[in-house]
Each structure stands twice: as structure tokens, then as C-alpha cells.
């Protein structure tokens, strides 16, 4: 199971960066980077709302957190649907308490060159990546303002710097960096920070699927990607979870409106 790989890679850390247990919401947390972030925040002592489209798909992440002694609940919601978001946050408040940590990890790709990209693919990527982040932040920030403490982290990408065949995704991920900076300015006076983490090439269960889609063997695809990374290796989910956990901690209270690239170098 890929969750075992997360644990081996350090997705669940025994080193806590958080001084106060909180309630954290992690979107897109059923698998991959989102699951690793959820597990790391749970290891830091936070209660975790594992949110994804399919509640059943969240079961593995919730079970892993509970097996390690943490608290977690699975929550299903389409983050681009306002009513579903509000209902999900209400469930979280009832089940775990008011959320004061939000990690906006959920996102999708619909790749294509500009002359081939459909309006539907453009709109869907914007709907999930940008609208979804906005609606989740809007719903959770009220609880943060009431607590006079909050942490918002959005997952951007090195694609924000421009990449062939991802005009929609690159635009959305660049937009999320602006979102974090604007939220930092607006919410900072309430003790709330907002930052972005921009991963580069990270090995997840989707990596092999990407290699297949571009018509390469996994070994060749991995070698080509690693050749571009100054660190000389692909990123792992734990490489992303660590910086996110720091930004969600008490110690990061004066880090606000920043973009942290997790890419093994200036670009991956």
C-alpha cells in the first residue's frame, strides 16, 4: 500500500513543530501529497479532517492516522460547490471542533496545448484549483478570525513558472500564489498567516500514469526528470509535508505571504 511508503519516507514524523493541538482540514487528502500532509499534521498533534470527493477513499488515510494514535474523520465534498463546502465545514466543527488550520491541497490537471484545449478543460481546472481554494478558505477563515489564530497553506506548483501543455494548470497555480499573498495581507491582523508551497517533481502513485500517458517507460521518464533536478533525485511526499507542517506551526507565525518552492533546486 502506498501509505506504507509514505510512512517509510517519513510522511509520519515523530518530530513535532506544533506547540498547540489544533483542528486541521486537508483537502485532496485521500492519497498522495495530501495524505502525507494529513499524516504529518496528525503526528504533530492536530485533529485532521481528511477531505476529498469520495468519503470512502479517505478511509485509508483516516485509518493510518488513528492507528498511530491520532484523531481524524473522513469528509466528502466537492470543494467547488459552496453548499457542499459549508456543509462539510459544519460537519468538521461538530465532529472535531472549529478548524484553524487549512491546507488547500486538492487540485486537478487537464493538459493540452493552447490550440487544442477546450473551454471545458480550462473552466474545470480553474473551478477546482482556484474556486475550490477560495470557497474552502472563505468557510474556514471565520473560525480562524474568531480564534485570533489561523494557518492557511495553498499548494501551488513549479508549473506556475510556465510549462508546455499546461496553460490552464500553470495559470491556476500562479493564481494560487497571488491568492496566498492577498489573503496574507487581508487576514494577517487577525493572527492568520497564508502561504504557498510549490512542489516540483514529486513521486506519487500518479507518476507512472504520467509516464504512460507521454509514451515513455517509467525508468526513462524518471531519469529524464531527475536530470533536471539539481538535488539529483525525485521529490518524495514527505519533502512536501515537512514544509507545510512548519507553515502550520506556532513557530511560523511571522512567515506570511510567502511562496516556498520544494523542487530540489531553482526549478525541477
Q: Where are the domains of the chain?
A: 20-200+235-262
At residue 19, the pLDDT reads 64
Q: Calculate the dihedral angle through the C-alpha atoms of 127, 130, 132, 133, rounding to the nearest 10 degrees.
A: 180
- Dihedrals phi, psi of 75, to nearest 5 degrees: -135, 130
**pLDDT in tens for each of the 268 residues of the chain?**
445 545 543 444 434 454 699 999 999 999 999 999 999 999 999 999 999 999 999 999 999 999 999 999 999 999 999 999 999 999 999 999 999 999 999 998 888 898 998 999 988 999 999 999 999 999 999 999 999 999 999 999 998 899 888 889 999 999 999 999 999 999 999 999 999 999 999 998 878 777 887 888 999 999 999 999 999 999 999 999 999 999 999 999 999 999 999 999 986 6
State the cell numbers at 180.
496566498
- How many Å from the N-terminal Cα to the C-terminal Cα in the chain? 27
**8 Å CB contact between 150 and 187:** yes
At residue 163, the pLDDT reads 86
Buried b (16+ CB within 10 A) or exposed e, 9-29: ebbbbeeebbeeebbbbbbbb
Active-site option among 169, 218, 221, 261: 169
CA atoms of 210 and 168, how far apart (whole Å): 17
- What's the Cα-to-Cα distance from 54 to each of 31, 168, 267, rounded to whole Å? 11, 24, 33
At residue 215, the pLDDT reads 87
Strands 23-27 and 259-262: unpaired
For this structure, is 169 an active site residue?
yes
Query: Of the candidates 155, 235, 128, 147, which has an alpha carbon nearest to the alpha carbon of residue 187?
Result: 147
At residue 12, the pLDDT reads 47
Q: Which CATH number fits domain 20-200+235-262: 3.90.245.10, 3.40.50.720, 3.90.550.10, 3.90.700.10?
A: 3.40.50.720
Sign of CA dihedral 37, 96, 64, 208: negative
At residue 15, the pLDDT reads 45
CA atoms of 16 and 10, how far apart (whole Å): 13
CA atoms of 51 and 69, how far apart (whole Å): 19
Predicted model pTM: 0.91
Amino acid at each position: 500500500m502506498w501509505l506504507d511508503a509514505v510512512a517509510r519516507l517519513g510522511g509520519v514524523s515523530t518530530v513535532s513543530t506544533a506547540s498547540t493541538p489544533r483542528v486541521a482540514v486537508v483537502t485532496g487528502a485521500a492519497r498522495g501529497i495530501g495524505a502525507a500532509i494529513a499524516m504529518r499534521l496528525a503526528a504533530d498533534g492536530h485533529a485532521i479532517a481528511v477531505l476529498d470527493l469520495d468519503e470512502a477513499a479517505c478511509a485509508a488515510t483516516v485509518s493510518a492516522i488513528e492507528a498511530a494514535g491520532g484523531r481524524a474523520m473522513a469528509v466528502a465534498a466537492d470543494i467547488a460547490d459552496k453548499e457542499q463546502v459549508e456543509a462539510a465545514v459544519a460537519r468538521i466543527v461538530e465532529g472535531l471542533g472549529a478548524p484553524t488550520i487549512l491546507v488547500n491541497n486538492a487540485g486537478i490537471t487537464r493538459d493540452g496545448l493552447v490550440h487544442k484545449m477546450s473551454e471545458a478543460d480550462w473552466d474545470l481546472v480553474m473551478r477546482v484549483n482556484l474556486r475550490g481554494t477560495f470557497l474552502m478558505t472563505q468557510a474556514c477563515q471565520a473560525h480562524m478570525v474568531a480564534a485570533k489564530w489561523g494557518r492557511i497553506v495553498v499548494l501551488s506548483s513549479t508549473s506556475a513558472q510556465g510549462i508546455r501543455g499546461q496553460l490552464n494548470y500553470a495559470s491556476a497555480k500562479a493564481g494560487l500564489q497571488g491568492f496566498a499573498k492577498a489573503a496574507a495581507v487581508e487576514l494577517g491582523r487577525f493572527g492568520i498567516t497564508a502561504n504557498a508551497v510549490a512542489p516540483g517533481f514529486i513521486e506519487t502513485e500518479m507518476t507512472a500514469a504520467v509516464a504512460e500517458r507521454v509514451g515513455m517507460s517509467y525508468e526513462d521518464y524518471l531519469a529524464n526528470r531527475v536530470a533536471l533536478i539539481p538535488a539529483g533525485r525525485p521529490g518524495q511526499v514527505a519533502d512536501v509535508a515537512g514544509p507545510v507542517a512548519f507553515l502550520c506551526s506556532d513557530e511560523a507565525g511571522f512567515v506570511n505571504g510567502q511562496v516556498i518552492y520544494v523542487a530540489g533546486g531553482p526549478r525541477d
